[in-house]
Structure 1
Amino acid sequence: MLEFRTQGFNGYNVKYSPFFDSRIAVAASANFGLVGNGRLYILGLTDRGIVPEKWFDTQDSLYDTAWSEAHENQILAASGDGSIKLFDISLDQYPIQSWSEHAREVFSVHWNLITKDTFLSSSWDGTIKIWSPEQPASLTTLPTHSCTYSAQFSPHAPSVLSAVSSDSHLRIFDLRTPASASNHLTLSIPIHAPPKARPGIAPPIGIPPSEALTHDWNKYRDTIIATAGVDRTIRTFDIRMAGHGPVAVLPGHEYAVRRITWSPHLPDVLLSASYDMTCRVWTDGTAMGHGGGTNGEDPMAYGGGKELGRMGRHTEFVTGVDWCLFGAEGWCASCGWDERILVWDVRAVMGQ
C-alpha cells in the first residue's frame, strides 16, 4: 500500500489518468471544504512511492476532478464558488479556461467518454450543465430542481447522461430527444420506492427517502446503474425495468456512502467509500448466476449480492475512490478527510 499526505487539505475525490497508470489527481479542500482554499494535486506513482508532480491552488474549495478524455495533460476541477476550471499540467499555475455559470457549489464534473468533446457539471443549484472546452458558455442546462451531487455521461451512449440528487431520484436524460417541457428527461426513478409486490409475498415496506450522493454506470452492462447515499445502502437498478425497483440491495456501511464506482475489469464488482472510514468491495451477485428478485422472507434481499472485503486504513471520512484502468485488475486509490491518499490492491482485502 502506498501513501501520500495532502498536508492541510482534505481530499474530496481521486481520479486515475485515462492515459497513464502511474498518474492520479486529487481534488482537495482546506478546512474540510467548509471555508478556505482548494488544491488540485497531480501525483506520480513511482518505485519511490507517491511523488507530487504538480499542484494548482484555487481560491475556493475543490469537490471533484475529471481528466480530459482528449488531452493527456488537461484536467477539470469543480469549485465551491460555482466555477469550473480547466488546467493544463504542462503549463504554469493559471487555468487555461474557466466557467462560472452555476449559482452554487459545483459538486461533480464528468467528461464524455465516447465523443470526448464535451463534459458536464452538476451543482447544488439544481442544474446540470453540458459544456465544450472550446466554448465560453454552456451548451445546455438541464434542471433537476434539487441539489445534484453526482452526474455522469453514460459510457455506452454519448447522448445519455444520469444524475442523483437530494430528492432521492435517479434521473436519465437523452440529449437526442426534443427539449420540450421535459428538458430531455426520459426517466426518473425514485430510489427509495418499495419494489412491486409479488403474488404470494407480503407487500414490501417502503423506505423513507434520503439524499442520494453518488452513482455510477456499469462498464459492461449498459442498462445497470448503482446508487448510494445517506441511508448507507447501495442499490443497483436496471433502467429497462425501473418500475420494478432495485435489482440488488447491498447494505452494510455504518454511515453515508460518499462514492461508488464499478470495476473496469469485472462486470459484477464495485467499490464504495463511506463516512464510516472504510472502502468496501462488493459483488452484485450476477457472476454467481443470481438474476435478482425477492425471496419470500425478506423483501429487501435481492440476488446474491454481498460484501467481499473492506479496507479500513483511513482515519476519517473516505470521500473518493477510483480504479486503475490498466494492468492487473484490482488496483485502486482512495482519499479522505484524514489528508491521506492511499493506493492499494483490492484483491488483498477480499475475504477479510
Structure 2
Amino acid sequence: MTSFHTQGLHGYSVKFSPFSPTRLACVACQQYGISGTAALLIFEFDPNFNAPIAVTQTCKWEDGLFDVSWSELDEAVCVTAGGDGGIQVWNITNNVPMLVLREHEKEVYSVDWCHTGDKNLVISGSWDNTVKLWDIGAGLGKSLGSFAGHYGVVYSAVWSPHISGCFASTSADGTARIWDIRKQYMPQHVIPAHETEVLSCDWSKYDDKILITGSVDCSLRVWDLRNTKSCLCQMCGHTYAVRRVRCSPYVAGTVASCSYDFTVRTWDFLKPQGLSPLLETIDHHTEFVYGVDFSTFVPGLVADCGWDETIRLYKPQSLNVLQTL
C-alpha cells in the first residue's frame, strides 16, 4: 500500500486514468467542501509500490469540487463537478480550466465522460434535480439537453459501459433511473431502489442489464433491468451511508464500496444464496470515505480518498485471491 496526505484538503473523488497505468486524479476540498476552495490533483505512482505517490499537477478552483472524470479521447483532459454549479474542463498541462460550463442552478455532484459511442459526451448530475448532457468536443457553452424526472437531489449519473447513449442516475428521491439520450424526456426505467436517498450507482462491466446502487440505508442492492420489482441481491455490512460503489473491471460480481463509516468493503454478489456476499472490510481511514475506484490496467489495484486528507492505493487481499481462482 502507498498513501498521500492532501494537506488540508478533504477528498471527494478519485479516478484512475483510462490511458496511463500510473496516473490518478483526485478532487479535494477545503473545509470538507462546505466552504473554501478546492483542487484537482494529478498523481503519478508506481503500481508495484516501489516509489511514493507524487503530485504532478495541482489545479485550484475557487469553490468545491465534488467529482472528476477523465476524457476517453485525450489523456491530458478531465472534467470536474463544481459546487458553484459549474462544470470545469481541464487540460492538466495547465492549471486553469480551458472551458467552464454553467447551466445548473445548484451544486454539481457528479460527472461522467462517455466511453461508448460518442466519446465527446459528458453527463452531469446536480442538486437542482436534473442531469444535463454536454458535447465537450463541440465547445458549446450550453448543454444539449436536460433530463428532469427526479424529485430530489441527483447524486450520481453514470454512463453504461455497454449500451451507447444509455446512462443511470440516482437521487434523494430513493430511485435509480435509466435514460436513453435519444429519448430525452422520459426515463426507460424507474427503479424503486431504496426507501432512503440513493447516493451512488455503477454498472456491471460483464452484464449490460445489471446495476448496483448504494444508499443512506447502509446497503448496496443489485438490480436486473429485465425485472426491477425486487433486487437480485442486497449487500449489508456498512454501518453508515454508502457513499460510492464501483464494479470490478476484472472479476464479474465483484464490487467495492466506501462509506461514512470510515471503511471500504469488497463484495461478491454472485456468491451462492445463503452465503454472505461480503469479502473484506478495509478500515485504514479515520474519517468519511468519499471516493473509490478500480484500476483498469492493474488487476486488484484500488484507490480511495477520504475526509481524513488521505489518498490510499492498495491491493485488497480478497481481490487478489479472486483473481487467482
Same fold (TM over 0.5): yes
SS of 1:32's partner is: helix
SS of 1:221's partner is: coil
Flag structure 2 segments of 5+ consecutive residues without an equivalent: none
> 1:74: Cα distance to partner?
0.1
Work out which of the residue numbers 234, 243, 246 in structure 1 matches 2:220.
234
Could you tell me the percent identity over the aligned residues? 37
Q: Does 1:147 align with 2:153?
A: yes
Q: C-alpha offsets along residues 163-208 of structure 1, whole Å, 9 cap, x if unaligned? A: 010010010111233x4xxx1311101113xxxxxxxxxxxxxxxx
* Conserved? CA contact 1:284–1:304, under 8 Å: no
Matching residue's letter, 1:129: K
SS of 1:49's partner is: coil
Q: C-alpha offsets along residues 145-180 of structure 1, whole Å, 9 cap, x if unaligned? A: 320000011111121111010010010111233x4x
Matching residue's letter, 2:121: T
> 1:310: Cα distance to partner?
1.6
> 1:350: Cα distance to partner?
7.6
| Superposition map of 1:187-206 within 5 A | 187-192=189-194
Q: Does 1:48 align with 2:34?
A: no
Matched residue, 2:305: 335
Q: C-alpha offsets along residues 121-153 of structure 1, whole Å, 9 cap, x if unaligned? A: 000000000001122210010012320000011
The list of structure 1 runs, each at least 4 consecutive aligned residues, that deviate by more than 2 angstroms after superposition, is 302-305, 347-351
* Conserved? CA contact 1:173–1:185, under 8 Å: yes
Work out which of the residue numbers 258, 266, 270 in structure 1 matches 2:251.
266
- What CA distance in whole angstroms lies between the structure 1 residues aligned with 2:85 and 2:102? 6
Matched residue, 1:219: 205
Matching residue's letter, 1:120: I
Work out which of the residue numbers 137, 142, 149 in structure 2 matches 1:137.
142
Q: Does 1:23 align with 2:23?
A: yes
> 1:48: Cα distance to partner?
2.2
Matching residue's letter, 1:80: G
Matched residue, 1:309: 280
- What CA distance in whole angstroms lies between the structure 1 residues aligned with 2:216 and 2:17? 29
- What CA distance in whole angstroms lies between the structure 1 residues aligned with 2:128 and 2:312? 32
Q: C-alpha offsets along residues 290-342 of structure 1, whole Å, 9 cap, x if unaligned? A: 4xxxxxxxxxxx66451111211111100000001013x21110000000000
Q: Output the aligned Cα RMSD.
A: 1.4
Matched residue, 1:109: 111
Matched residue, 1:96: 98
> 1:60: Cα distance to partner?
0.2
Matched residue, 1:163: 169
- What CA distance in whole angstroms lies between the structure 2 residues aligned with 1:176 and 1:83? 24
- What CA distance in whole angstroms lies between the structure 2 residues aligned with 1:113 and 1:106? 20
Q: Does 1:277 align with 2:254?
A: no
* Conserved? CA contact 1:261–1:272, under 8 Å: yes
> 1:117: Cα distance to partner?
1.5
* Conserved? CA contact 2:57–2:95, under 8 Å: no
Q: Does 1:345 align with 2:311?
A: no
Q: C-alpha offsets along residues 206-264 of structure 1, whole Å, 9 cap, x if unaligned? A: xxx21100010000100000001110001000011112x10000011011110100000
- What CA distance in whole angstroms lies between the structure 1 residues aligned with 2:42 and 2:96? 15
TM-score by length of 2: 0.94
Q: C-alpha offsets along residues 90-121 of structure 1, whole Å, 9 cap, x if unaligned? A: 2x221111101001100000011112110100
- What CA distance in whole angstroms lies between the structure 2 residues aligned with 1:127 and 1:145? 9
| Superposition map of 1:13-92 within 5 A | 13-46=13-46, 47-90=50-93, 92=94
Matched residue, 2:12: 12
- What CA distance in whole angstroms lies between the structure 2 residues aligned with 1:173 and 1:99? 22
Between structure 1 and structure 2, the one with the greater Rg is: 1
- What CA distance in whole angstroms lies between the structure 1 residues aligned with 2:316 and 2:162? 25
- What CA distance in whole angstroms lies between the structure 2 residues aligned with 1:102 and 1:15? 23
